[in-house]
Each structure stands twice: as structure tokens, then as C-alpha cells.
Amino acid sequence: MPAIRPRARQQEPVFRPLFPDWSTPRPLSFFFLEELLEARAKSTFPTGAEENDEDVNIYLADLLTRTARLDNESGALFGSMPQWQPPSKTLGRQARARWYLEQGEQRLLNLGLFGRGEDRRRRAGLWGMTREDGHRRDMVCGRACYEAAAALLEHGRQPVPLAATAARVARHFAEYVQVLETLGRGRWDLGARLSERQLVALVTDSPESTQDYPDRDDDRSAAQDRFLDALNRFRRSPSQAHRQRALNLAQQAGIDRRTLDL
């Protein structure tokens, strides 16, 4: 009697998505890396300008990805405090290096993308300190934090590759700030604001003027400030409530609602 061969199991079709899952970090990191390379090519510090620094491109793309996904828990101290209040020596080298990296990363991102070293104050600098003073202080502190992180990572029992990357960022901190500035301002148009002339044109060209509202505060500058605050809030967190508030304040400021892209 011939042996009975078992029927071969028919392989079930496997679904393979055509596009990547955008909920994962990989597509974001690809996007940021491509944008970063384009920005570096147009900046005054292109890739490989002074040394082989492709690893810094990968590091910066990962940093932007973590920031966009809100994976960074910002424990950054204000101003130059990291230089005067270092982490506890009871922490291990890796933990202290991570702490210094967080301080440096916060300043690198904010200086490059937004032109300021920290994002917790509305004013660009402290009272009694010029914007240039604050910028210079944050540049020095950011570079010092990367130097400290590189030293801790390099002189540990097992040096890690990130030590060389942190050392490169420290050596060319100002140049990488300029690269991120090219990325944020040149490609993404971050921080774009209406000029005073544009704002005045919006108000004067509007068919609605402050004379139509005799019962409200005549301080047009204050009304315009409230409108701009509401507009920025809507841009950061779009919602119907924020949109309606921006429209209402635009009317109070004498700005024609039809000219707004809301």
C-alpha cells in the first residue's frame, strides 16, 4: 500500500502595508534626517566641513524625533544653573552624563530653533540682561554641558560611542546651533511674525475700527497683543474654543476677520 503523503498546508496571504506605520519613530526620524541634511547643505557648516561628523546628523535627527514625540522629559535648569548646581555625585557616571546631555540638548534645540536658550519665560531674557547677554550665557552653558557629558562618557569603565558625538557637538556648538537655525527658520519658518507694518495694514484696512466699539478699552496695542496671544495659542493647540476666541479678539482689535486664515 503506497504511503499517504500529508497535504501541504496552503500558505495564507500575509498583509504587507504599502506605507510605514507613522505612529512609530522610524518615519519621523527619516523625515528629520532628510530635512537636517538639506539644512546642513544650505548652512555655513555642511556635513564633513571640518571632520567626519555623520554621527552628529544621526544624533540630531534622533533628538528632533524624541522632541516631536514628547519622549524628552525636560528637567533643564534655567540659565547657567547647570554650571553651579551639578548633579549629585551619588549618581553613577552614566546618569550624570545623561543629566548634562539633557541640559545641553535643551539649549541646543531652543537656541537653534527659537533663538533663545530656554522656553519657560515669555521674555527673551531676564530683567536687566540684554537679549545678547542671555544668548551668550546660554551658548557658553550649552557647550559646557556637552563637554561635561563627553568627559563622563569617555573616561568611564566602558567608553560609549556617544562620547565622541557629544565631544564633536561641544567643539562646534555654535555651528550646530546655526544648522538648527537654518532648519527651523529657513525650512520650517519657525518664529515667523507679522511685522509692525503688516499688523498696522491689517488694522487700517479693516472696515471695522475702534470707533465702532465705544464701550471697550481704546488701547489698541493691548487689544492687538491679546489677539496675537490668542492666535499663537490656536496655532499651538488648534481647537474650536481657541479659534473662536482668536476671532473675537481680532474683532476687538479692529482686524477684519475675513483676512485671517482661521
Query: Model confidence over 43-82: pLDDT tens digits?
Result: 889 998 878 889 999 999 999 998 888 776 667 777 777 7
Residue 10 lies in a domain: no
By residue range, what is the domain housing residue 143?
25-187
Q: 47-66 burial string, b = 16+ CB within 10 Å, else e? A: eeeeeebeebbebbbbbbbb
Same domain, 204 and 98: no
CA distance 65 to 33: 9
Asked whether residue 174 falls in the same domain as residue 51, the answer is yes
For the chain, what is the domain count?
A: 2
Average pLDDT of the residues in 200-222: 58
Residues 44 and 156 in one domain: yes
Q: Which pLDDT score is estimated for 123?
A: 52
Instruction: Please give the pLDDT value at position 72.
Output: 65
Residues 138 and 245 in one domain: no
pLDDT more than 70, % of the chain: 74
Last residue of a domain, one of 141, 158, 187: 187
Tell me whether residue 13 is in a domain: no
**What pLDDT digit, counting tens, does each position of 127-168 carry?**
667 778 888 889 999 999 999 999 999 886 666 789 999 999
Are residues 78 and 51 part of one domain? yes
Same-domain pairing of 140 and 41:
yes
Please determine, for residue 28, whether its predicted confidence score (pLDDT) is greater than 70: yes
pLDDT of residue 210: 47
pLDDT for 185 equals 86
Shared-domain flag, residues 68 and 128: yes
Whether residue 2 is contained in a domain is answered as no
What is residue 68's predicted lDDT score, i.e. its pLDDT? Answer: 87
